[in-house]
Every structure is written in C-alpha cells, then in structure tokens.
Structure 1
Amino acid sequence: MIVLGIESSCDETAAALVNDKREILAESLLSQTDAHRPYGGVVPEIAARAHLENADDQVRRAMQGAGLEFSQLDGVAATAGPGLIGGVMVGIMTAKAIAAVHDLPFMAVNHLEGHALSARVTDGVEFPYLLLLVSGGHCQLLVVEAVGQYKRLGTTIDDSLGEAFDKTAKMLGLGYPGGPAVEQAAATGDAQRFALPRPLRGRPGCHFSFSGLKTAVRQTILALPEGPLRETDVADLCASFQAAAGDVLRDRCARAIRMVRESHPEITALVVAGGVAANTYLRGELSALANDQGMELVAPPQRLCTDNGTMIAWAGLERLREGLTDGLDFKPRPRWPLDPDAPTAAGAGVKA
C-alpha cells in the first residue's frame, strides 16, 4: 500500500510517499522562510500564493524521486486543517484533483493527527501512548488510543510554547524563525542568571500557560541597562527562558504520566511531536523525565518534527487502512481539534 501526502498548512510546501512497511519512498519540501523573514513571521497571503506556485512541482519531485506513476498509488492525502486556510485550500484541492483524475481514495488529514502519528512511521510505536504535542500553534497532552481516537489531558490556556519562543526571539532581535534562533543563542548562555517564572508548575491538572513567561522576558529586557542588548544578555536570557520552558514541560508531563498509569496502565511510551520537539535541549529534558518515570521517550527525527509531507502521507495511509476515506466535497477546516469532546480548559483566555 502506497500513499501520497501533501502538506501546505503554514509555510512549507511538501509532498511525500510512504508505504505500509513504514518506508519513506520519497520526500520533497520547499520552505518559505526566506519569503517571510522580512516580516518577522508568516504572512498568510504570501504563504498561500507560494503554495499555489509550488504544490504541483513538489508533488512531481516526490513522484519522480520514488520512481512511481499515479496509477501505482493506493490513495492520496492532504492536510485539510487546522492551519492558514489559503494554504490548506491549495493542498487539499491539489490532492482532490489527483484523486479525481486517477480514481484514487482521498483522505483529508488533520494536521495535528499527522504530528500525532509520526512516531508510528519512524519508530513503530504501538497504541496507546502518551503524546506531548508542541508546535507554533498548539501545546497539548493527549492519550493516543487509535487512529482518530484521542483523549486530551491538557492544553494551553493562553499561548503555545512555539509562540512564546517566537515572541522571545522577536523581543531579543533574533529574527524569524524564532525557535531555532533562541536555541542557538541559549547554547552559550547562563540559564541561572535570570529568575523567570514557571507558570502552573505544581498546580493540579495538565494544562499549560506561557503568556506569563513571555511577559517576564519582556520585563527582564526592560530592566536591563538602556542601549543595545549585549550578546551575553541575549544568550543568558535565551538560556533562562529555555530552562523555564523545560521545567514546565517536565512538570506537566510528569502529572500526565501519573494520570495515564491509572487510566491506561499499558502505556509505556511518551511521544513528543510538533515543531518545538526539534529543540535538542527540550528533548533532553523530556528524555530524562521519561527515564526517571520508567517510560520510553520517542521523538521523531528533527526534520520530521517540523511540518512535512511524510507525516501527512503516513496519517493518510493509517486512515486508509481503517477505511476512513473522505469525499471530494470535504471542506477545509481552519480549526479542527483532535478531541472535539474535550471540555474548555478552566482559565482559558486568562493570561497566567
């Protein structure tokens, strides 16, 4: 079984092919980072136009890389949400056109499910498992019970961790994308120099909050001597921020592990996925936590943590195996929670 996957929900135009032996047959990805860098973030209209210009070429490159014809495919999948709606529309229409012309099953993939299932193609993780999903727009703890079956344990009540990384980078003049810039600067910094808060650490439950940490970074910058920030100030502040983020993730994940040991005692794996999961320091912190808790940390290769076509192709393949195909009238969804029945987080919208 071979599935083509297309990803276009933000600022990467990507296509990939995978088979049911967990083999990645081909990948093609075009990043828009250079186009968005002058604006300090992703500009939706620029992103949508770039996807429109490049989607067909990325699909062609992936097909050529795998040495396949469309007639050899068993299905085609595309991110159908959540994400920037213009880009999502480009990807889903490209996939629908291929499916219609070649009479192939079409799978509309939740972008978050792509991240959630990525460890199954890279590491063969068995259901169920505990998932920490950390990206530019989301920060959630979920139990992944099966394809399409998720139980949310916690979510952010304000900002995502990825957003906090990006805003910290912007305040420090590190540019875009912010996550890698903060991580690089933190490598030479003193994480003990600035006492930053650890929002919600020690509190009941598994929810997150990062707006207070972001605000503390801004207040710390304002308290420094006037004039350009010194390189050591930037490095120390990045290291202090990263350490605070790591402490929060460890605390929240430890609580989630205790919860799943009661509800799902068979769970032995903590999976971390999403763009922020590419951060080497945070991976190390979570690995130490998993080791302390007698769990296995599973993290996809860093190139498969950020948005990519492989995770969409694999999620599509998993859905196809379960008979979960979609009609060509499926409408893109700018918002699409993995657990739509999860209650609103207490305090959501309240900056903490």
Structure 2
Amino acid sequence: MLVLGIESSCDETALALVDDNGVKASVLSSQADIHALFGGVVPEVASREHARLIGPLLDSLFAKADLGPDPWKRIDRIAVTRGPGLLGCLLVGVAFAKALSLAHDIPLIGVDHLHGHLLAAGLENNIEWPALGVLISGGHTHLYRMESPVKMEVLGRTIDDAAGEACDKFAKMAGLPYPGGALLDALGKHGKADPHLFPRPYTHNDNLDFSFSGLKTAGALWLSQHPETHFPAGESPARERLPLASQELCDAAASYLLAVAETLVIKARRAMQSFRPRCLIVAGGVAANSVVRREFETLAAERRIPLLIPALSLCGDNAVMIAQAGWHMAQAGRHHSLALSAVPRGQAIPEDWQETL
C-alpha cells in the first residue's frame, strides 16, 4: 500500500510517500528564515507560504519517487495532518488533500499530528506494545499510553507552556535568534549544568500534567539579573558567534535544559507506575535535544526497556510521519469523508473516521 502524506500544521510544508517497505520519497520546505525576521511564526505568512509551495513540492515529490507517467494510479491513500496546529496552515493542507482525493478518487485519511510524531519512531525500530509515549514539541508536551498504532490514551499534558516553548523563550530572552532551541542546546554543550539553578516546575504533586511557565519565569528572572551574559550581537550567523558567548551563559543554558529534561523524566517515571510499558518512545522537535536524549537514555536503562527516538530528520515536523500514521490507519480499515475538518491547537481531535471502504 502506497500512502501520500501531507503536512502543513505550522511552518514546514512537506509531502512524502510511504509504502509497506518504508519511505519511498520525501520533500520539505522550511519557512524558518522568513519567520526569523519576526522572532516567531506569523500564522498569516505561514499559511500563504504553504499555499504557494504545496503544488510545486508535489511535483518535486513525484519526480523524486519516479512513479511512472501516471503516479495517481499507484497511490492508495492520501493522509493529511488535520490538527493540532495553526488553523490557517492546516486548512491549506486539508483543502489540498481533499481536492486530490476527489479528483483522483483516492480515500482520504485525517491524521493526528501528535500521533504522527510518536509513530515516526517505528520507521526504523520495532515498537513493542504497550509503549509509553513522550511527545515534546514547541506547542505540546504529552504523555501517552500507546496500546497500538491506532489506540493511544493521553495520560498527561501541559496546562500552559510546552517544553519547547519554554526553551525557545529562554533562548530569545538570552539574545539568540529564532528558532532558538537548537542554538540553546549548542550553547549548553559548552557549559556545566548547575542542578540547583532552576526549578523542576509542577512536580510536587501526584498528577502527570506539565507546566513550564514557572521555569520560564525563573529563566527570565536570572537573565534580567545577569544582563552581561546575553548572547553577543552581530551580523554573522548565530552559529558562528557561539564561541563568543560567555561561559556563564553556556552554564545557564546547560542548567536550564537539565531542568527541562529532568522535569520530563520525573513525570515519565511517574507514568510508568500506572502501567508497565515494554518500550519508551520520545518524539517531537525537543526529542532532538541532546540533554533530553541523555536523560531518557538513563531512564530507559534504569527500567531495562528499549528507548525509541525518531531519526533527527524526523523529530521536527515532516510528512513522512503523517504518511506512516496514515498507513497504520489504512491497515486498520479507517478513512474519512470529504467532510473532514481541520482542528486547531487547543481542541480535541474527534474520532470521526469511517471503518469500511
């Protein structure tokens, strides 16, 4: 079965083809340079860029995949991110997918973006069920009990700021350009973490939810008290200026990231008390962070279970994970009608699929 995946939830426009053997082809265009001018994603700009790019990217995907003179005869399903995400951005992808589905009479599948992130770990690894899924991104921090590729239960979620947002905001306040999370990780690699410098927020309770607003406030307070540590300005690319950063800022970056990672691990360890997972999945953009990876490696070794993390290229938003999730839904006999709705961040993804074709 060959599945076309379409992703347009935020500032990456991506398409991919996945079949029974894995990834057949993938293309992606990032808008990071555009939004860096504004210090963050501008939804209207992002949706217009998706509309401009998505058609040419499909042509590029087909050229790369070499499906023959009529590629539509080879495609069995069209999977698209329906949410969560920025509504205008989601609508571009969903409308494009609906048009292709209608024009070529190919069944349509709406994919939960967060499930796609988690299932990306299964592209190069064998997921053993049940699994504990830890989804960490700029907009979401969720814990899942994963019973199968199509059955997942949310155990905990962020009640305010997500882990990735907390990292990006600290980086921005420190003078790092957008997107700052990866640069913060690079700074932290040159620092020594102080485990007492920043708090482990919202952990003195017995639930599985997250709140990183307190950590963000603590980071802002520290930076306001140490203005001399701010990242040096300049016209050269930020990565070229990393060696100019003060040791104190590098130490603070390492300490801040350790606080984020240990907070995530505290809640993940607590989730393991409610059931015994056979593997641990860590996914999403923040799963690319070296400190987060190290701390979860320690947890997995402690529990003697495999740790599965998608390849670095699949941690951020991409269409491979959407096509992969769509493939699993198709195997379960699920599809959607053309009434499929886009679901913005903050709203639940409805279980409105149809079971038979």
TM-score, normalised via structure 1 length: 0.91
Return the offset for 1:9.
0.4
Q: How many residues align?
A: 335
Q: Aligned pair in 2 of structure 1 residues 225, 61: CA closer, same or farther (>3 Å)?
A: closer
Amino acid at match of 1:334: P
Q: Secondary structure at the match of 1:152?
A: strand
1:87, distance to aligned residue in structure 2 (A): 1.1
Indicate if the aligned counterparts of 2:3 and 2:75 stay in contact, CA closer than 8 A. yes
1:155 aligns to what?
Answer: 157
Note if 1:289 corresponds to 2:299.
yes
Instruction: Summarize the Cα distance change of 1:14–1:228 in structure 2 as closer, same or farther, 3 Å threshold.
Output: closer
* 8 Å contact from structure 1 (residues 4, 75) kept in 2: yes
- The answer for the alignment partner of 2:337 in structure 1 is 327
Q: 1:138 aligns with which of 134, 137, 140?
A: 140
CA contact (8 A) 1:120 1:126 kept: no
Q: Which residue of 1 aligns with 2:108?
A: 106
Check the 8 A contact 1:193/1:236 in 2, yes or no.
no
- Partners of 1:129 and 1:144 within 8 A in 2: yes
SS in structure 2 opposite 1:259? coil
Cα drift, residue 152 of structure 1: 1.6
Percent of residue pairs identical: 42
One of 200, 221, 237 as aligned partner of 2:202: 200
Q: Which residue of 1 aligns with 2:286?
A: 276
The structure-2 alpha-carbon separation of the partners of 1:28 and 1:228, relative to structure 1 and needing over 3 Å to count, comes to closer
C-alpha contact (below 8 Å) 1:6/1:59 kept by paired residues: no
Q: How far apart in 2 are the matches of 1:196 and 1:214?
A: 9
For residues 274 and 341 of structure 2, what CA distance do their matches in structure 1 show?
36
Aligned to 1:190: 192
5+ residue gaps in structure 2?
Answer: 232-244, 352-357
1:258 is aligned to 273
How many Å apart are 1:333 and its aligned residue? Answer: 1.1
**Structure 1, unaligned runs of 5 or more:** 262-266, 342-352
1:106/1:336 Cα in 2 relative to 1: closer, same or farther (>3 Å)?
farther
Corresponding residue for 1:18? 18
1:346 — aligned with what? none
The structure 2 residue matched to 1:305, chosen from 278, 296, 315, is 315
Q: Residue by residue, what CA displacement relative to the aligned partner does 1:58-90 show, whole Å, maximum 9, x if unpaired?
A: 122122211111110111111111111111111
Alignment-derived partner of residue 213 in structure 1: 215
TM-align CA RMSD: 1.9
* Shift in Å, 1:297: 0.7
Cα distance in 1 between the residues matched to 2:325 and 2:195 = 43
CA contact (8 A) 1:152 1:339 kept: no
Q: How far off its partner does 1:339 sit? A: 7.9
C-alpha distance in structure 2 between counterparts of 1:339 and 1:273, whole Å: 19
Of stretches 6-15 and 85-94 in structure 1, the one that deviates more from structure 2 is 85-94
Shift of residue 162, structure 1, vs aligned partner? 0.6
In the alignment, the residues of structure 2 paired with residue 148 and residue 248 of structure 1 have an alpha-carbon distance, to the nearest angstrom, of 28
CA distance in 2 between partners of 1:199 and 1:78 (Å): 35
State the distance in 1 between where 2:302 and 2:170 align: 30
How far 1:144 moved relative to its partner?
A: 1.1
Map 1:43-192 to 2 at 5 A: 43-68=42-67, 69-192=71-194
Counterpart Cα distance in 1 of 2:52 and 2:349:
34
Going from structure 1 to structure 2, the CA distance change for 1:96 and 1:225 (only over 3 Å counts) comes to closer
Q: Distance in 1 between matches of 2:271 and 2:195?
A: 30
Cα distance in 1, alignment partners of residues 334 and 227 from structure 2:
59
Q: Is the 8 A contact 2:6 2:81 kept in 1?
A: yes
2:264 counterpart residue number:
249
Could you say if the C-alpha distance between residues 294 and 340 of structure 1 is closer, same or farther in structure 2, counting changes exceeding 3 Å? farther
Q: CA deviation at 1:53?
A: 0.5
Q: Describe the shift of the 1:327–1:336 C-alpha distance in structure 2 as closer, same or farther (beyond 3 A).
A: farther
